Amino acid sequence: MKPLLVFALITLLSSVATAQLINLPKILQPETYLQSEAESGGLKVFKLVPREMFKDPDGSYSDSDNPIGIRGGGAFYSFTTGSHSYNKIPQIMLESDKFASETRRQFGRAFRGRASAGRS
């Protein structure tokens, strides 16, 4: 019974991640040539926008409330789920041209271990 449950869970998670790729807003879709190059090397590519570009309404916890339909406005990414939504356990965030890699509960706090994104 356990192998069947594991298979069902993997299938469900895969469909959730795939669903976002299909419905991803154009601003978050990587360029076709980059995606092809990454896939030829067995890699995945994703795109982030700065957190301040598409802000969530105050007090909102729903993807549908954000202007692009993804909570966090495309500034977050989860390597585990393949989702840009803040609701899907992100591991990386882009804010004010800085990357942050923290646990979900720490994104709202002061960042440690900042890395520059582009500009010095």
Angstrom distance (rounded) from CA 18 to CA 103: 23
22 confidence band (pLDDT: 50, 70, 90): low
34 confidence band (pLDDT: 50, 70, 90): very high
Q: Which of 37, 19, 1, 32 is nearest to 82 (CA)?
A: 19
Identify the pLDDT of residue 106.
Answer: 55
DSSP 66-100: STTSSTTTT-EE-TTT----GGG--SEEEETTEEE
Is the CB of residue 74 less than 8 Å from the CB of residue 48?
yes
Instruction: Output the six-digit token pair for 1.
Output: 């019974």
pTM of this prediction?
Answer: 0.67
pLDDT in tens, 54-101: 999 998 999 999 999 999 999 999 999 999 999 998 999 999 889 998
Region 32-44 average pLDDT? 92
Identify the pLDDT of residue 111.
Answer: 44
Identify the pLDDT of residue 101.
Answer: 87
Identify the pLDDT of residue 29.
Answer: 93
